[in-house]
Structure 1
Amino acid sequence: MVDELRQTLEHVGERFNLGEYEIDAYLAVLEHGELTASEIADSTDIPQPRVYDTVRSLADRGLVELRESRPMKIVAVNPEDSFGDIQASFAEMVSELEARYTAPTRDTEAVSLVKSRSTILRYIEEIITTAEYEIALSLTPDLLRRFAPQLREKIADGVTIELLVTPASRAPDPAEFDYLSVATIARARRGITTPVLAVADGEYSIYATQDALRDDQDRYGVIFNRSALGFLVSGFFGTVLWTTAETLAADGRDRPFPRRYASIRRAVKDIRELGGEFYATVEGRNIETGNSIVIQGKVVDVAFEDTEEVASFTVETPDGPVEIGGLVAALEDIESREIRIGRNEPPGQIDN
């Protein structure tokens, strides 16, 4: 099986290993149906002495036919005939490669630096598809269209999605694009300097420059695999990017309770905006002792600034009021790691 896969790889590689001259000549012949060597030289940048070697290479690959007339004519072969045999080989090869693929564990390193566009895109997709209840996203319009199918699936599964589209000048018109099919709330922000980022459940996240998704030299992405560092991306998204964007669409009032949150800012915003009585179950740790703790009770107060630099709420417990903060909280009593908010009673205790 290993030898067969290697042979398939070699076969596919040989067929597609076309040089610049071969590509130019092939496209020219495809466009015109047939050409002479002189016509190929005239319509491309291929030097006349190189044309014959180039078209013979294409003929050896079955991409064109050479008709020995005077002058010789290079005739296009229907691409379906040229590549029909390779399609089956390619599909089989991909299947075999997937069977051998071992997904890299994200727990080995807290931070990873990646410089490959395809790797950045793969991680963004993985972050979206692995999210259980909350996603924060900053995407270009092209990336929004690319990942729209996965986002629609997550919305259908009840995942909360805060979507930022940048630059705003190229964001799809809300009259023509259904933002609420891919996001709970969508905003647009000016500037190509706005980074691309994705955060799943406040933990697994990636931050990349827009340049990293073009052909520029300054390309990089940073992957944060643990919540102790990944919350930095989420915090940056919430306080710097989100607050400087204009709303395109929102449907937060339509989602049922109880709701689950990784970000205290999102929890507090919902409590403030929706009004009424709320109850909370919070899994976190005491900021002074570091001990893990679960707090349950009625939400009796909230603190929030429009800049989102401050966000907290207070829960009334049998032992008295307890103030809940976000990750790395210092002023509140509890650093929350996961929050559940309900309407009539504290939601069921979070499973560890």
Structure 2
Amino acid sequence: MESKDDGKEALLSQTLQQNVGMSEYEAGVYLALVRGGTQTMTELAETSDVPKQRVYDTVEQLRNEGFVEVIDDYPQKAHAIEPSEALAPVQTKLNQAEEYLDDLYETIDTVEKGVTTFKSRPSIEKYISNLIAEAERDIFVLGPQDVLNQFRDQLKRRADDGVRITLVVSGLDESDIEDDVVTVPEFTDVGTRVRGVTTVEDFAITTDRRKGFYWAGSARRGVDELGYFIVNDDLAFVLDRFMSESLWPFAFPTADQSRPELPGTYVRIRDALADLEHVSNVFPLDTFVVEIEGYDTETGEHASLAGVPVSYYYNEYDLRASLTVEIHDDEERRRVTVGGWTATIEDYEVRQISIGYRHGEPTLSLDDETKRHLATCRNELPASFGDREAVIGIDAFIDRMRDAVAERIDGEYRPMRHFEEFQNSLARVDAGESALVEWTETRTEPGGYLSHAGRLFDNLGYDLTLVGRLGEPVSSVFAGQFGDQNLVTVGETSVTDFLLLEDKKILFTEPNRDEPTWESILDRVTLEDLARWIDGSAVLSIGSFYATSNLPAILDGLREEVWPMLQSPPPAAHVSAGELHRLPEGRLGRVVKALERLDEAVPVTVTANRRAATALRGHLCDASMAGSTAELAKDIARSSDVSRVIIHSFTDTVAASDGTVVAARKPLPPDPREGLDVSEYFETGVALALAEGLSDGAALVLGNAVAFYFNQHSEFPTESELRSALEQYEEYFDDDQMHPILSP
């Protein structure tokens, strides 16, 4: 029996040494106390076979490790702590080890199925941390604040590494939201984009849209927590799509929504287009270049593309998103459409898209060249206006300005202010119902190039002859605005319903079947009258090729039949290209030839925005991938026999004539997203500059000043207001608060 007990004690001693970490002396003393109860140090030396001079140190070590208690009496005694209590930490470690082993076993057993389940919090946290560490380009994470805080520092480090991080904080209190803006200061420096929701959402994360993790129960107390590790691309895509397309659009944004920094790389086309929409409110689309990695939707073959964005469709609340890109392949240009993951109707399915600037980030500050042109403009501007005549034609409309009704309130209404609200009102239509948008007319006013230029010149006291489709008889809308001027109608006018929102304008225009031709004009007025009105005028200003499809023939008629009758022809003719890019290719040739023929009789200045200029350059140079605005103007001037070409974009204006190119920076409104399309207003300023004989650079500055004033006040300036706008020109650039959208 004694031999059997000795064998058990030897086994216990070995177990304590190998698995608990006790030394041989510690195991002997502890077993002696368990077996014999409370003992003095002398008694322990006898029962444990440990030398007496080592017993004190050994007991103290066991006391520190929680295995014995010491009774500070004389003589000093010790007793063992109950084994179940003393070994509890060891048991905990063994349990954890068991869970780790179970998780490892489950991983090996189920990883091929695409989803692995974890039950222990340490395993869940470990795999989430590994996902964050392994992400290459993109992390999308959702979760309650307390859980997100566990990974905040790691996410911040990955953001510093250049990984794009999108963060949605769930379970926020209503007090965290004011005016639909959420306040989460502890996370604003963590993500590239941060939003918040008040709903209770469990933690979820996807990385590079290829892996993910869903932590069920993490947002609720008292429930079993389960972690689902997702390594299947398709399943990770579903989780990512839920967060990015179902949850993100309806989450509350933070106040700090700064301009995206480019270049940027994206795994979601919607993210790319959201940033493109933001920056293209300031810079034209052909300022940017896109690089795409994806697949041909027809053949399934991998494709790498690079080109210039031409157009795009994106709405935060619409799952559809697509991009049209112009690319060059083997010296041949073509346009392709690009959609997101699982795209079928577009040419390519994008898996990764990068956006950058083609020629470096444009500069918006007031440069030295613009300062020189500004000084010249102030110097060349006449002492007074109003002692000249001008002839303006030919497109004119009646604009009915309208508000779209968002809701009725006690007999009044709240108007829609943003395009997104209007767009959503059309999208929210139940099956079987028609879309219904209520609107109300706020005012009626003259529209079209004739009216815009006429209002500026009229404000400055010019004697005008306005030749256009003013109605038969002349509509009271035009007569009321220009009653003291010479109004010459050449046909019925048409009506445009003009829905003006803060960030976009929408025009609903009736097609005018009574488009003037040279013959129809001569049916209403005589050549002698036309010659009398044009003779001695300071400028002939006409718009536009898109609104008046027969304009090339009308220009030919003026050159061939009217100009020979003039004794004192105007020194300058101005033609607005208008929406020239909408014309079919065949008509572009007629436009160019008509301009060149007119230029033989009078120096012609053509004004165009970048889109129209790009189309014109594509016709003249067999290339439409324009570079800078200056390159556009230079190429068109070099490839055509027109005296002067002026191109204007969101940020700059350029004039090219006689082999010389000058440029002037354009001041932007406080928020370019809420600015109007100021093309025609700029062009009226250029027409005024031509009438006053200003040099090219001065003409650019004057056009910019007129456009900026109209954008700020929705009306054309008087003489004193125009001079004041020129005096304050520098201030539009100096005010740091002027362009909050541009702050990086």
Change (3 A) 1:8 1:294: farther
Query: Could you say which residue in structure 2 is the equivalent of 1:188?
Result: 196
Rounded to whole Å, the distance in 1 between the matches of 2:175 and 2:165 is 17
Could you tell which deviates more after superposition, 59-68 or 139-148?
A: 59-68
Alignment of 1:171-210 (within 5 A): 177-192=185-200, 194-210=201-217
Query: Could you say which residue in structure 1 is the equivalent of 2:263?
Result: 258
Q: Does 1:112 align with 2:115?
A: yes
Match of 1:337 among 304, 326, 351: 351
Query: Could you say which residue in structure 2 is the equivalent of 1:235?
Result: 241
Residue type at the aligned position of 2:336: V
Rounded to whole Å, the distance in 2 between the matches of 1:62 and 1:167 is 43
Q: List per-residue Cα deviations over 1:152-186 (Å, max 9, x = no partner).
A: 10121122111001101299898783423211121
How many residues matched? 274
- Contact 2:309–2:323 (CA under 8 A) maintained in structure 1: yes
Q: List per-residue Cα deviations over 1:15-37 (Å, max 9, x = no partner).
A: xxxxxxxxxxxxxxxxxxxxxxx
Change (3 A) 1:8 1:226: farther
Residue type at the aligned position of 1:199: T
Rounded to whole Å, the distance in 2 between the matches of 1:336 and 1:216 is 40
Q: Does 1:134 align with 2:138?
A: yes
Rounded to whole Å, the distance in 1 between the matches of 2:256 and 2:17 is 50
- Contact 2:339–2:348 (CA under 8 A) maintained in structure 1: yes
Residue type at the aligned position of 1:300: V
Larger radius of gyration: 2
Rounded to whole Å, the distance in 2 between the matches of 1:12 and 1:139 is 41
Could you tell which deviates more after superposition, 314-323 or 266-275?
A: 314-323
Rounded to whole Å, the distance in 2 between the matches of 1:260 and 1:171 is 35
Rounded to whole Å, the distance in 2 between the matches of 1:212 and 1:122 is 18
Rounded to whole Å, the distance in 1 between the matches of 2:17 and 2:207 is 38
CA RMSD of aligned residues (A): 4.2
- Contact 2:324–2:337 (CA under 8 A) maintained in structure 1: yes
Change (3 A) 1:252 1:335: farther
Q: SS state of the match for residue 119, structure 1?
A: helix
Rounded to whole Å, the distance in 1 between the matches of 2:191 and 2:65 is 47
Q: CA deviation at 1:292?
A: 0.8
Match of 2:19 among 4, 10, 19: 10
What percent identity do the matched residue pairs reach? 26
Q: CA deviation at 1:344?
A: 0.9
Change (3 A) 1:310 1:254: closer
Change (3 A) 1:156 1:60: closer
Query: Could you say which residue in structure 1 is the equivalent of 2:341?
Result: 327
Rounded to whole Å, the distance in 2 between the matches of 1:12 and 1:140 is 41
- Contact 2:314–2:320 (CA under 8 A) maintained in structure 1: yes
Rounded to whole Å, the distance in 2 between the matches of 1:293 and 1:340 is 14
Residue type at the aligned position of 2:216: T
Q: CA deviation at 1:64?
A: 6.6
Q: CA deviation at 1:303?
A: 0.8
Q: Does 1:248 align with 2:254?
A: yes
Residue type at the aligned position of 2:226: Y
Change (3 A) 1:175 1:263: closer
Alignment of 1:1-352 (within 5 A): 10-11=19-20, 62=66, 65=69, 67=71, 109=112, 111-116=114-119, 117-169=121-173, 177-192=185-200, 194-211=201-218, 214-217=221-224, 219-253=225-259, 255=261, 257-275=262-280, 276=283, 277-318=287-328, 319-344=333-358
Rounded to whole Å, the distance in 1 between the matches of 2:18 and 2:290 is 56
Residue type at the aligned position of 1:203: R
Rounded to whole Å, the distance in 2 between the matches of 1:274 and 1:210 is 40
Residue type at the aligned position of 1:11: V
Query: Could you say which residue in structure 1 is the equivalent of 2:58?
Result: none
Q: CA deviation at 1:115?
A: 3.5
- Contact 1:184–1:250 (CA under 8 A) maintained in structure 2: no
Rounded to whole Å, the distance in 2 between the matches of 1:220 and 1:168 is 23
Q: Any stretches of 5+ residues in structure 1 without a counterpart?
A: 1-5, 14-57, 76-81, 347-352
- Contact 1:315–1:322 (CA under 8 A) maintained in structure 2: yes
Q: SS state of the match for residue 299, structure 2?
A: coil
Change (3 A) 1:268 1:320: same
Per the normalisation by structure 2, the TM-score is 0.33
Q: SS state of the match for residue 223, structure 1?
A: strand
Q: List per-residue Cα deviations over 1:274-306 (Å, max 9, x = no partner).
A: 212321111111112111111110011111122
Rounded to whole Å, the distance in 2 between the matches of 1:59 and 1:235 is 57
Query: Could you say which residue in structure 1 is the equivalent of 2:31?
Result: none
Rounded to whole Å, the distance in 2 between the matches of 1:12 and 1:308 is 63
Change (3 A) 1:112 1:170: farther
Change (3 A) 1:175 1:339: closer
Rounded to whole Å, the distance in 2 between the matches of 1:172 and 1:144 is 17
- Contact 1:205–1:230 (CA under 8 A) maintained in structure 2: yes
- Contact 1:111–1:222 (CA under 8 A) maintained in structure 2: no
Residue type at the aligned position of 1:111: G
Change (3 A) 1:7 1:186: farther
Q: List per-residue Cα deviations over 1:299-342 (Å, max 9, x = no partner).
A: 11111122141122111113421111111112211111111111
Rounded to whole Å, the distance in 1 between the matches of 2:21 and 2:239 is 41
Q: SS state of the match for residue 260, structure 1?
A: strand
Rounded to whole Å, the distance in 2 between the matches of 1:112 and 1:239 is 22
Change (3 A) 1:324 1:175: closer
Rounded to whole Å, the distance in 1 between the matches of 2:304 and 2:195 is 34
Query: Could you say which residue in structure 2 is the equivalent of 1:30?
Result: none
User: RCO greater where, 1 or 2, for CA within 8 Å and sep 6 or more?
Assistant: 1
Change (3 A) 1:128 1:12: farther
Per the normalisation by structure 1, the TM-score is 0.66
Rounded to whole Å, the distance in 1 between the matches of 2:18 and 2:219 is 29
Residue type at the aligned position of 1:184: T
Rounded to whole Å, the distance in 2 between the matches of 1:190 and 1:127 is 26
Change (3 A) 1:307 1:176: closer
Rounded to whole Å, the distance in 2 between the matches of 1:59 and 1:265 is 64
Q: List per-residue Cα deviations over 1:209-268 (Å, max 9, x = no partner).
A: 235875413x4333321433321111111111111211125455253x221111111111
Rounded to whole Å, the distance in 1 between the matches of 2:344 and 2:184 is 45
